[in-house]
Structure 1
Amino acid sequence: MGVTNQPRLNFVGVDISSIHVEVQNQYTNAEIKHSILPKIILPKNLPDNFKVVMDVHIESEGYFNIKTIISGLFILNMEMEDKHRDTFMHLNAPAILFPYVRSFISTLTSNLGSSMGTIIIPPQVFKGEIEVIIESPQIED
Structure 2
Amino acid sequence: MAVLEFKSYSVNELSYKKNDLYQGTRQNINLDPEINIKNTLEQDSIIVTVNVQVGSQADKQTPFMVTASISGEFAYHENEDHNQVGVDTLIKKNAVAILYPYVRSLVSNITNASNQFPALILPTINVTQVLEEKGKAHEAAD
TM-score over 0.5 (shorter chain): yes
Measure the CA separation in 2 of the matches of 1:118 and 1:20.
14
Amino acid at match of 1:98: Y
Q: Distance in 2 between matches of 1:93 and 1:19?
A: 20
The match for 2:41 is: 42
CA distance in 1, matches of 2:68, 2:87: 27
Whether 1:87 aligns to 2:89 is: yes
The correspondence for 2:19, drawn from 10, 13, 24, is 24
Give deviations 1:51-76, integer Å, cap 9, x for gaps: 11011100053321111211111111
Q: What amino acid is aligned across from residue 16 of structure 2 in structure 1?
A: V
- Report which of the two has the higher share of strand: 1
Query: Taking every aligned residue pair, what percent have the same amino acid on both sides?
Result: 25
Larger relative contact order (CA 8 Å, sep ≥ 6): 1
The residue that corresponds to 2:73 in the other structure is: 73
What stretches of structure 1 of length at least 5 have no aligned partner? 1-5, 132-141
Separation (CA, whole Å) in 2 of partners of 1:111 and 1:78: 43
Match status 1:13 vs 2:13: no
Instruction: Give 2:76's aligned amino acid.
Output: L
Tell me the TM-score normalized by structure 2. 0.74
Which consecutive residues of structure 2, in runs of 5 or more, have no partner in the other structure?
A: 136-142
TM-score by length of 1: 0.74
